[in-house]
Structure 1
């Protein structure tokens, strides 16, 4: 992938994220216990200047869009240079198309890669889960045929080459993102920080006045 193409795609991804950001609102539901493997420690987010003080939803919307750029570049490289890995991926894709229920496909970037179900609440089990339903469908699809030891060794070598190429493209993407940091941070200051400040102000008011002054006087402290 040429450098100009990387620059263009990253710029378009940032533009799309900036168009989405004004619609972002802080989550009001209970936070997840498990960290997002796509975002935690991401060099993409570091290059973009989105640190740990930025809400995860804001981070995820950008990291997913940028990951798509890297994934497409690696897919093109694989199709041209890594025939065994490409054949394995083609078989897996055909297996996936045979699934009648694919809840993780076709999601907006802001939701792609997130867990399908919320974290369970102790003592309140789910009647069913989206992940469980998808696993039931997967169980009915035949497994891929086993590989010989020689094929496994060759496949591992091609996977290593694909990983090396992914790291190369990732570094290029991060270098390009550095040039977009100012407008990314300006957008966070305009659309995200005021909402966080409003939430903190509301929390401070509720802590300073834990009892409703308009309620029953008998419920207030002396």
Structure 2
């Protein structure tokens, strides 16, 4: 029996809460471009995860909610949208033919994240993971072209799928509102102390940039 959206969201939040104690702040450079999945996400707003919450914490929850929406839309498409389903089946078969698929099988905390760091100015990469994936995709034959009538019908089915996704997304957000308190309590328990410790360490290093053990009020003769 298919689980309700409410049950799926509740279980996904439970899994995210069990993961959260393992989260640690990243030490690598931040990225210039915002995450398209998380930036301005109504899901994160419903969960109470604002811009002051680290992206890694946000991403793990938003990805789990996206999986719920994607699964619901896939079920709806398979039952009601034959042209779109056929197109998706062909695309899935094409993807399986690729020899290199680095973005598949990732944990929710990493799914959808950029595969490569931002390059440093004047220091280009010899190769990138995303570049290798694009080369593998280019070796697979393209899908056969569609007639104008088929394109119009497919666009209509895509719109229906988008409308259904928006409806499910709104339901997910409504359910998340009931989990805000425990989500925010967990962030306060596991995330905020680590951020506070980082800020304290940064403050100490700024007060004594050359010798952290030196008294900043005493100068050398």
- TM superposition shift of 1:100: 1.1
- Tell me the number of residue pairs that the alignment of Structure 1 and Structure 2 aligns: 217
Query: Counterpart in 2 of 1:103?
Result: 102
Q: Counterparts of 1:31-180 in structure 2 under 5 Å?
A: 31-180=30-179
Q: Distance in 2 between matches of 1:40 and 1:13?
A: 20
- TM superposition shift of 1:54: 0.3
Q: Distance in 2 between matches of 1:27 and 1:206?
A: 18
Q: Deviations over 1:65-107 (max 9, x none)?
A: 0000000000000000000000000000000000111000000
- Considering only aligned residues, what root-mean-square deviation do their CA atoms show, in Å? 1.5
Q: Deviations over 1:128-186 (max 9, x none)?
A: 10011111111110000000000000000000000000000000000000000000000
Under a length normalisation based on structure 2, what TM-score does the superposition of the two structures give? Answer: 0.95
Structure 1: runs of 5 or more not aligned: none
Going from structure 1 to structure 2, the CA distance change for 1:213 and 1:126 (only over 3 Å counts) comes to closer
Under a length normalisation based on structure 1, what TM-score does the superposition of the two structures give? Answer: 0.95
Q: Distance in 2 between matches of 1:56 and 1:95?
A: 32
Structure 2: runs of 5 or more not aligned: none
Going from structure 1 to structure 2, the CA distance change for 1:189 and 1:144 (only over 3 Å counts) comes to same
Q: Counterparts of 1:14-29 in structure 2 under 5 Å?
A: 14-29=13-28
